[in-house]
Amino acid sequence: MALPQTELRPMGKPILRKEDPRLIRGKGRFVDDILLPNMLHLCILRSPYAHARIRRIDTSKAEAAPGVKLVLTGEDLAKMNLAWMPTLAGDVQMVLATDKVLFQYQEVAAVVAETRAQAEDAIQLIEVDYEPLPVVVDPFKALEPDAPILREDKEKKSNHIWHWEAGDREETDAIFREAPVVVKQNVRFQRVHPSPLEPCGCVADYNPATGKLVVYVTSQAPHVHRTAIALTTGFPEHMIQVISPDVGGGFGNKVPLYPGYVVAIVASLKLGVPVKWIETRTENIASTHFARDYHMTAEIAATEDGKMLALRVKTIADHGAFDATANPTKYPAGLYSIVTGSYDFKAAFVEVDGVHTNKPPGGVAYRCSFRVTEASYLIERVVDVLARRLKMDPAELRLRNFIRKEQFPYRSPTGWVYDSGDYEKTFKLALERIGYEELRKEQKEKWARGEFMGIGISTFTEIVGAGPAHSFDILGIKMFDSAEIRVHPTGKVIARLGVRHQGQGHETTFAQIIAEELGLSVDDVVVEEGDTDTAPYGLGTYASRSTPTAGAAAALCARRIRDKARKIAAHLLEVNEDDVVWDGAAFSVKGLPGRSVTMKDVAFAAYTNVPDGIEPGLEASYYYNPPNLTFPYGAYIAVVDIDKGTGAVKVRRFLAVDDCGNVINPMIVEGQVHGGLTEGFAIAFMQDIPYDADGNCLAPNWMDYLVPTAWDTPRWETDRTVTPSPHHPLGAKGVGESPNVGSPAAFVNAVLDALSPLGVEHIDMPIYPWKVWKILREHGITE
Ligand code: CDP
């Protein structure tokens, strides 16, 4: 049962979310709620072609249209050196196209008008003379020698962007040469989109009188956006204030800087009034950064009795027209080399090649720690392929190959040092809770009757909490995070953090951390994020990094305050500091528990009665550079039944047992798990963004790109084990993305398990009913 926020010692308790009274009463303040005097509206003209030369743009009719104040083209931006902007992956991207377009829906021109309707009408009046060029949508074709070169701006005359590898090629190949068993599987993780309920948008407000530029923007990383705006526009960073107000979901979509933001800023700088740009659903899906689109091949070398020896992975990454991932510089394929998962391989070798195609740029880490989702899906799928080849139960194969708990900290063959885990314990709990043995018996009976029931397993390992700063950066900015806490004279607290939540409940969980450390209640602590003028510099919220980084910063910052408070307490108690003890609620004199002062008493004294030699006030800041990432993990099991008539898959049960170390708020963690499982379910069964041969996007809206409703969504069962992170000050690991990372493989493995009597090896996601129905029909099972 959820608890009220007045609870003392709130760590680990299901405290009600502080943000909900505001949000559920419609009192949230999102970017589109911001209305400023004299504000104008921006709309963007987009390309109907996926690849075309622009011969001429005529804006004269649009300029004369009612209410229009400004029309901008790439040529106008080029005069300001802003036709192109850097991406977070070190590539460059067109803001408004100049000589050619590289994907359908690419930004071509913009209109600023008094109303949105006027701007929308006026962009229809812009005449663009396009010369269509040959289109490349298949990344394998893009690599063929006679493929048209898409990026003529680059020195390299090829659609190949980069090659990246990890692990030991020779050692891996040597094991494969000798291995008694080798399995190989091609697997595609289709192109999907984070698709937050609130699309992207901004209000750029340049005030010529003060010289200040305020940008309200749907941002998961406001400080990075401020720096990126300063670097892109040359506008002085201290005169830029980025405010990320309430954000209606991000899931990675709101990490990059988008052309619309730059155009709105330029328009406001030119006109000296606020300019609002809010994209439509179609603009969000068809032009902002996609996710995944990995074409993967995995091979496992193993013994006949099921000892997995080596893993070899080759991947083509389709990045579309511009490489615009938000990956740390050192890792162009993100943390994909975590692909050895929960298993103790002797050797592994992973290679990835990035490729340009005529599709929108990306791909962002959609609820994912920089490509860990693709990696987890791949390993969990191919382990099942091996189990099938060995005629071994997939649960048994996993149990034989897990990294054992005494092996932690464990160095993986691709170089990661896993902090902690007890995979066997977590998995056995899952097997027991789902009733695995009974389900297998039931399945045998059903198969004998010609019915298709499947049990799918995914025992994944995550990697979250980037930094450490020595190897992680975005745009060269080291990946740490921060907290600043001020205790007011009455013992009430305001805390500001460098991350920016988008629904994850930081206003509650970070208040819990601080209240616990300071002996206060959650009600006493207000958490603020998202305003670069007030919050300390941070790298933002994505990749489940907030708890591992800013959560740690909040705890250590509060401990800094407690250290100072102890000195003041000693003064109040008239004893030496060494004789003061903290019991979690108050300072007391060693051996005399009756003589005590609370944090509230100390806070008042910090402003009214400070001893000589101590600075007045009670505040601190902390910049936390994590020593390692955290490695949450889970054991997920799906049970499905297939309708033979329609091919529809019914998820009968789904159990998620997660381990994210110590938990701050179990109710919020459960909410995170429910949300991520729902997304994983949608990816497995409903979502894809296909393109036709001409590069037309075939799912640019929620009629074609499906979002699950409560009706579609299975009932989730959850449980957890607790294996604390040894290096995190609270023993906590991130959890936000685990369910999205771990669940697709469980769903897909369940369907393939159901169909195993038919010898079906693999079906690529999304598993639409027609794909299953086709297989059943090929086997003469259905008409
Ligand atoms: O970076 P992001 O907030 O998306 O992910 P996270 O750090 O995994 O946190 C998601 C939410 O779950 C936050 O409100 C966390 O504080 C909470 N959480 C928790 O209560 N206990 C954990 N061990 C991990 C996260």
Q: What is the DSSP string of 322-382?
A: SB-----TT-TTTTGGGGGTTB--SEEEEEEEEE--SS--EEE-TTSSSSHHHHHHHHHHH
The single-letter code of the amino acid at 612 is D
Percent of the chain surpassing pLDDT 70: 100
Mean confidence (pLDDT) of the chain:
97
Q: Verify whether residue 407 is a known catalytic residue.
A: no
The 3-class secondary structure across 104-133, one letter per residue, is: CCCEEEEEEECCHHHHHHHHCCCEEEEEEC
Q: Residue 527: CB within 6 Å of ligand 1?
A: no
DSSP annotation of 306 reads: S
Q: Verify whether residue 155 is a known catalytic residue.
A: no
Per-residue pLDDT at 783 exceeds 80: no
Total residues found in the chain within this entry: 783
593: pLDDT confidence band, cut at 50, 70 and 90? Answer: confident
CA dihedral for 556, 558, 561, 565, sign (positive or negative)? negative
605: pLDDT confidence band, cut at 50, 70 and 90? Answer: very high
The residue behind tokens 């068993």 is 181
CATH of domain 136-375+388-393: 3.30.365.10
Q: Verify whether residue 29 is a known catalytic residue.
A: no
Average pLDDT over residues 598-627: 97
Nearest CA, atom 4, ligand 1? 544
Query: How far does the centroid of ligand 1 lie from the alpha carbon of residue 501, in Å?
Result: 10
Preceding omega of 584 cis (within 30 degrees of 0): no
For 658, counting Cβ atoms within 10 Å of its Cβ (0-12 exposed, 13-18 middle, 19+ buried), the class is: buried
Residue of 370, 368, 660, 657 lying closest to 509 (CA atoms)? 660
Pick the CATH number of 20-28+481-624 from 3.30.365.10, 3.40.50.720, 2.40.160.20, 3.90.1150.10: 3.30.365.10
Percent of the chain surpassing pLDDT 90: 97
750: pLDDT confidence band, cut at 50, 70 and 90? Answer: very high
The answer to whether residues 62 and 125 touch, using CB atoms and an 8 Å cutoff, is yes
Q: Residue 660: CB within 6 Å of ligand 1?
A: yes
1: pLDDT confidence band, cut at 50, 70 and 90? Answer: low
- Residue 264 CA: distances (Å) to CA of 41, 42, 232, 459: 9, 7, 13, 45
Structure-block tokens of residue 240: 């830029």
Preceding omega of 766 cis (within 30 degrees of 0): yes
| Residue 60 pLDDT | 98
Per-residue pLDDT at 345 exceeds 70: yes
Name the phi and psi angles at 429, rounded to 5.
Answer: -60, -45
Per-residue pLDDT at 3 exceeds 90: no
| Residue 351 pLDDT | 98
Angle at the Cα of 8 (from 7 to 10), degrees rounded to 5?
80
Number of other CB atoms surrounding residue 115 within 10 Å: 12
For the segment 475-487, what is each residue's pLDDT rounded down to a tens digit? 899 999 999 999 9
| Residue 4 pLDDT | 78
Report the topology of domain 402-410+418-466+629-783: Aldehyde Oxidoreductase; domain 4 (3.30.365)
For the segment 365-403, what is each residue's pLDDT rounded down to a tens digit? 999 999 999 999 999 999 999 999 999 999 999 999 999
Do the bridges between strand 592-598 and strand 586-589 make them parallel or antiparallel, or are there none, so unpaired? antiparallel
CA dihedral for 108, 109, 110, 111, sign (positive or negative)? negative
Catalytic pick among 17, 367, 381, 496: 367
| Residue 171 pLDDT | 98
Per-residue pLDDT at 327 exceeds 70: yes
Residues 6+ apart with CB under 8 A from 470: none
Structure-block tokens of residue 478: 């080291």
Q: Are the folds of 136-375+388-393 and 402-410+418-466+629-783 the same?
A: yes
CB-side neighbour CA atoms (13 Å) of 25: 6
**Whole-angstrom Cα distance, residue 150 to residue 134?**
9
Residue of 32, 347, 327, 374 lying closest to 189 (CA atoms)? 374
Choosing from 497, 545, 546 the residue with most ligand 1 atoms within 8 A of its CB, the one to mutate for a pocket test is: 546
Choosing from 544, 735, 737 the residue with most ligand 1 atoms within 8 A of its CB, the one to mutate for a pocket test is: 735
Nearest CA, atom 3, ligand 1? 546
| Residue 302 pLDDT | 98
Average pLDDT over residues 348-357: 98
- The reported pTM is 0.97
| Residue 209 pLDDT | 97
Domain coordinates of the chain in residue numbers? Answer: 20-28+481-624, 136-375+388-393, 402-410+418-466+629-783
For the segment 101-139, what is each residue's pLDDT rounded down to a tens digit? 999 999 999 999 999 999 999 999 999 999 999 999 999
Residue of 17, 230, 85, 8 lying closest to 665 (CA atoms)? 17
For the segment 763-776, what is each residue's pLDDT rounded down to a tens digit? 999 999 999 999 99
490: pLDDT confidence band, cut at 50, 70 and 90? Answer: very high
For the segment 228-265, what is each residue's pLDDT rounded down to a tens digit? 999 999 999 999 999 999 999 999 999 999 999 999 99
Catalytic pick among 43, 368, 660, 697: 368
The answer to whether residues 50 and 103 touch, using CB atoms and an 8 Å cutoff, is yes
354: pLDDT confidence band, cut at 50, 70 and 90? Answer: very high
Q: Residue 505: CB within 6 Å of ligand 1?
A: yes
Residue of 423, 354, 524, 657 lying closest to 9 (CA atoms)? 524
Closest-lying ligand 1 atom to the alpha carbon of residue 543: 1
Q: Residue 661: CB within 6 Å of ligand 1?
A: yes
